[in-house]
Homo-oligomer: A and B are copies of this chain.
Amino acid sequence: MPQVDTARFLQDLHDLRRIGAFKTGVHRPTYSPDDMESRRWLMQRMEEVGLEASIDGIGNVFGRNKGPGPHLLVGSHIESQNEAGWLDGALGVVAGLALARAGLPVDVCAFADEEGHFEGGFLGSRSIIGELSEEEIDRSRSRNDGTPLRDALRAAGLAGLPRMQIDPARYKGFFEMHIEQGTQLEGAGLQVGVVTGIVAIWQWRLSVTGQQDHAGGTTMAERRDAGLAAVRLLAAIDREFPRVCGERSTWTTGRILLEPGAPSIIPGKAEVLFQFRDVSMEKLQEMEAALRMLVRESNRRERSHTELVGISKATPALCDPAMMRALGGAAEALAPGAWQEMPSGAGHDAQYLAKRMPAAMLFTPSIGGISHHWAEDTKEEDLALCVRVLAEGAERYLAGSN
């Protein structure tokens, strides 16, 4: 069982928390001065634990183990959402430092812009697996203020630096520790989550076209109310999806816009942003089939026409069973009965690393499920427990004993 210096681990987290501090959280948007300071801080910590530290042309911070393999890759992201939490991303990076300090043969990485401040998203992890083109970097702009990514990279001193790509052959697997960002663990009174897979998000736009008209002068019989057609379709989805969904599927309408949106005008157009998520490709396909059926039926019955547009379809990323067994065994040893297997409803760098090597994630509880908010927090005893589970799980996996 590896000896993890949990006090030092927690101290590292609190030291990092001071960079870009905002209330009890942090404000470290990607490539901002505070974010770049946090990357320099990380490189110094990497050197201190004996890793060879570098930063690449997209901002990935990499600490390379100098010893012999087999190696593991451990990491997450170090930038934050705007005015958000101190643990989201930082936890997994600092856990990597703790494992290195405990003598495990790990490379540690902070993947740039997992939080998607710039268009494209997951720039760092996609770049490191070779799935980010120069053209995409040329096109990308900040979602906050439209700044071109190239300008931000230049201002951050990263222009001209080469972008690194990992060699999957170097690693037996990738581990990422992260806060749950939900209330499953807390609600069940558990302390550790062994992640089964990272859901894929399939995003859709429903564009409804009716006829804009006067709310008083147009009878109910003749009007072609795009907003009402949208409401009926969403109500039908609400009734139908439980029949086809998986046990842990989620589906969400985040936005409804009626045009013109005036109280006395029948909407001539409506736009809906709808998405669903699951770890199972089969379930995703069944939900898509149900959605298409409901749109088809709506178009058969309504006087408004709905167009279904697919915006994006990610692939579920299943975690490696052997890595999961190693983590589960470690959890049972260190927190017997206080852990469970569970999917991740949110996207993570791990879903991209999983394309190149076996990958696994470990969740800590989130107090109140709060995330993407400065009040985000986790009990220190849970943080300490989980980093020990991570280290023990990593060691078991390397040893091949599950």
Which residues does A use to contact B, with CB under 8 Å?
Answer: 180-184, 187, 199, 201, 203, 213-220, 222, 225, 227-228, 231-232, 234-235, 238, 245, 248-258, 261-267, 273, 275, 277, 344-347, 369, 371-372
Contact = CB atoms under 8 A, between A and B. Distances in A.
Contacts of A220: 245, 249-251
A150 B215 CA distance: 31
How many chain copies?
2
A217 B345 contact: yes
Given A187-B222, A220-B251, A263-B273, A238 B228 contact: yes
A225 B250 CA distance: 12
A60 B298 CA distance: 49
A290 to B, nearest CB: 15
A271 to B, nearest CB: 11
A201 B217 CA distance: 12
Given A181-B217, A199-B216, A231 B234 contact: yes
Contacts of A372: 214
Given A231-B238, A238-B228, A345 B254 contact: no
Contact of A235 (B181, B235, B255): B235
Contacts of A225: 252-253
A325 to B, nearest CB: 24
Contacts of A201: 216, 264
A340 to B, nearest CB: 14
Contacts of A203: 263
A258 B255 contact: yes
Contacts of A180: 217
Given A184-B219, A217-B180, A217-B369, A266 B252 contact: yes
Contacts of A344: 216-217
